[in-house]
Amino acid sequence: MNYLLWLVPAVAILALLLTWLLRRYALARSLIDIPNARSSHSVPTPRGGGVAIVISFLIALPFVWLENAIDNPVFFALTGAGAAIALLGFLDDHGHIAARWRLLGHFSAAGWAIYWLGGLPALSIFGLDVDMGWLGYIFIALYLVWLLNLYNFMDGIDGLASIEALCVCLGSCLIYWLIGARELVVLPLLLSAAVAGFLCWNFPPAKIFMGDAGSGFLGITLGVISLHAAWHDQTLLWVWLILLGVFIVDATVTLIRRLLNGCKVYEAHRSHAYQFASRSFGGHLPVTMAVLAINCLWLLPIALCVALLGLNGAVGLVVAYVPLTVLAFKFQAGTKENS
């Protein structure tokens, strides 16, 4: 794995430079997010910088593939699904694609990834081994589509989506290293390098936003990497679900409560818990740093207990998610914004 000594910093530097170029491009083409009643920011800001993450990561993949660090199925799953979602997001950033066509593209990309990686391995749920069979394919398709969409929903304040991806990727790298699954380290490590380069421009106060191309790409890429890990060891799927807890809980609670409140869930809104929190604390930085702390001090230790100490994954998931759900309700996730 000596090639990582130069590839990882090269990916980070490439993402850093590409983000700078994309910012200039966005300014020249007037690709600017103008604040409105549904925005969580107050300053006009260029968008579309997440394309730097996409390009940097996808350029790096053939190198690790040719080094036999990843096999054909995961290489084709990541490149095909990731590129398709990034292209769809890029087109949506530059215009507008109807929700039904976006959703069709999302399920098509998920289907491509599932074709290469398979459905869902048998899982230990509260001590009971469960093999979902063909239902596993449906579950994974919904999981991948929900993950890429929730990542788009949660990319609403400066640095949040980038910090989340860094925490999840580096946390998984640490766990892989400690359990001796070092062959799995390469993908999340390269993705974290690409995100780190972009974060230099996206950290509060952001000089450029990620955009749909970057957020959707991150969502489905994290999902594919987690599915790849699950086929190595089913316990690792629980690890990934725990590490992704902040985004999964906030987005899911918000969606459910908006549905129950009769809201149109496809309309833009500012009713996620993190959005209420950013308004409550008067800025983006406190919330982004709070998510960093939750990931490092709460979710990572629980994931370590599942991976290293034999804590049942489903039990660990419940332990991890209950306080996050309480926080989501505390910050009024999914309630009407004038309440």
Residue 172 in this model has a pLDDT that exceeds 90 = yes
At residue 268, the pLDDT reads: 74
Number of C-beta neighbours around residue 189 at 10 A: 21
Write down the residue that tokens 């699904």 correspond to: 81
At residue 210, the pLDDT reads: 94
Instruction: Provide the mean pLDDT of the chain.
Output: 93
Q: Which two tokens stand for residue 158?
A: 């400066």
Return d(Cα 230, Cα 62) in angstroms, integer: 22
At residue 39, the pLDDT reads: 59
- Contact, 157 vs 209, CB < 8 A? no
At residue 34, the pLDDT reads: 76
* 117 confidence band (pLDDT: 50, 70, 90): very high
CA angle, 17 then 22 then 197, to 5°: 35
Residue 264 in this model has a pLDDT that exceeds 80 = no
Q: List, for residues 53-94, the tens digit of each pLDDT value.
A: 999 999 999 999 999 999 999 999 999 999 999 999 999 877
At residue 36, the pLDDT reads: 62
Question: What's the predicted TM-score (pTM) here?
Answer: 0.95
